[in-house]
């Protein structure tokens, strides 16, 4: 095992945490590794709302280019940031066991405002999915854009006159920065593949494919495949309020998916329970169900807004 596997990663604290997970799994098997931090477009431009940047792959493009240019051998991504269509010559090498999937509200002073009818709270998030779901529940609230890595967003929340901001539980908990002033939003359905980490490599690199295959987590791989297939069939990306969550229980796959209008006023949802051995096309079938309910019109409207 003389070959050194160069692991590409964004240089944020959370991205480095993810890369170290892959690094540790490889070194535990005797592979030699090296971390290669690379800046992404999504990290450099912290002002433009995500939906105004050509979002597909904004956090993955720089790493994918480094992979194709042979500067690195493996790229590690937060799976929910990865476009459903991978660049040619790049393939999934391993999906790690999933962490927490929920979203959190980090609040400033208390959560009393959630129970106060007529109070116009100021809530921050850059995710159109979170915005749409929040507005569906709290239509009178004001939403604000919040970009940057986890630590930057927490600092911005502290500095601004906002009531709270929405974060992924996995991001805060993995780097041990979840504040005591946070609550789980158990009513908010997560983004497809939220809480999962993926390692990708060149599709002809049999050495790295074999090295990573040993830590691919089959249950997470299936669940995230179903969620991303749901997303892909609805032709959504970071700019579409699409939520999905699949998990396995007693050889049954349980799935829930949602498509929301940008302002939260319209919602189409689907729930399915399917035997494990019949779940391969579950995401696609659930998405087709949403489209038939009237979701196709929402997708068309969102496309026209872009």
Q: Give the domain CATH number at 120.
A: 3.40.190.10
Task: Identify whether the C-beta of residue 239 lies closer than 8 Å to the C-beta of residue 50.
Answer: yes
292 within domain boundaries: yes
User: Which of 16-19's residues contact partners 24+ apart within 8 Å by CB, and which partners?
Assistant: 17/174, 17/175, 18/76, 18/77, 18/78, 18/174, 18/197, 19/76
Task: Identify whether the C-beta of residue 248 lies closer than 8 Å to the C-beta of residue 221.
Answer: no
Range of the domain at 72: 4-98+196-216
221 within domain boundaries: no
- Of 43, 64, 73, 81, the catalytic one is 81
- Domain shared by 11 and 85, yes or no: yes
224 within domain boundaries: no
- Domain shared by 94 and 132, yes or no: no
Q: What is the dihedral of CA 188, 191, 193, 195, to 10 degrees?
A: -60
- Domain shared by 202 and 83, yes or no: yes
- Domain shared by 62 and 176, yes or no: no
Has 186 been annotated as catalytic? no
- Domain shared by 14 and 92, yes or no: yes
- Domain shared by 125 and 205, yes or no: no
- Domain shared by 168 and 252, yes or no: no
CATH number, position 243 = 3.30.160.40
Number of domains in the chain: 3
Taking only the tens place, the pLDDT of each residue in 219-253 is 999 999 999 999 999 986 667 899 999 999 999 99
62 within domain boundaries: yes
**Percent of the chain at pLDDT above 70?**
92
63 within domain boundaries: yes
- Domain shared by 11 and 88, yes or no: yes
- Domain shared by 128 and 171, yes or no: yes
37-44 average pLDDT score = 63
- Domain shared by 293 and 260, yes or no: yes
- Domain shared by 107 and 93, yes or no: no
- Domain shared by 89 and 107, yes or no: no
191 within domain boundaries: no
The token pair at 221 is 């791989």
Taking only the tens place, the pLDDT of each residue in 247-297 is 999 999 999 999 999 999 999 999 999 999 999 999 999 999 999 999 999
């Amino acid at each position: 095992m003389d070959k050194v596997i160069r692991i590409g990663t964004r240089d944020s604290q959370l991205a480095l945490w993810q890369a170290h997970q892959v690094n540790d799994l490889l070194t535990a098997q005797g592979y030699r590794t090296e971390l290669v931090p690379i800046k992404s477009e999504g990290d450099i431009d912290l002002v433009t709302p995500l939906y105004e940047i050509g979002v597909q792959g904004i956090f993955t493009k720089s790493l994918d280019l480094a992979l194709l240019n042979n500067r690195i051998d493996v790229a590690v991504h937060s799976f929910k940031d990865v476009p459903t269509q991978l660049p040619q010559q790049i393939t999934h090498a391993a999906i790690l066991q999933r962490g927490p999937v929920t979203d959190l509200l980090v609040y400033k002073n208390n959560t009393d405002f959630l129970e106060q009818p007529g109070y116009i709270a100021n809530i921050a998030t850059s995710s159109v999915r979170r915005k749409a779901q929040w507005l569906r529940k709290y239509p009178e609230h004001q939403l604000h854009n919040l970009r940057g890595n986890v630590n930057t967003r927490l600092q911005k929340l502290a500095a601004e006159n906002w009531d709270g901001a929405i974060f992924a539980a996995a991001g805060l908990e993995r780097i041990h920065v979840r504040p005591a002033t946070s609550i789980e939003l158990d009513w908010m359905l997560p983004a497809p593949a939220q809480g999962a980490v993926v390692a990708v490599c060149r599709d002809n690199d049999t050495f790295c494919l074999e090295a990573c295959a040993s830590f691919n987590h089959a249950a997470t791989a299936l669940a995230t495949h179903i969620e991303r297939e749901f997303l892909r069939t609805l032709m959504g990306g970071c700019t579409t309020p699409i939520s999905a969550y699949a998990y396995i229980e007693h050889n049954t796959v349980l799935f829930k998916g949602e498509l929301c209008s940008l302002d939260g006023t319209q919602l189409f949802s689907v729930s399915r329970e399917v035997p494990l051995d019949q779940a391969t096309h579950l995401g696609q079938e659930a998405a087709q169900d949403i489209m038939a309910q009237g979701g196709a019109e929402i997708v068309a409207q969102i496309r026209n807004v872009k």
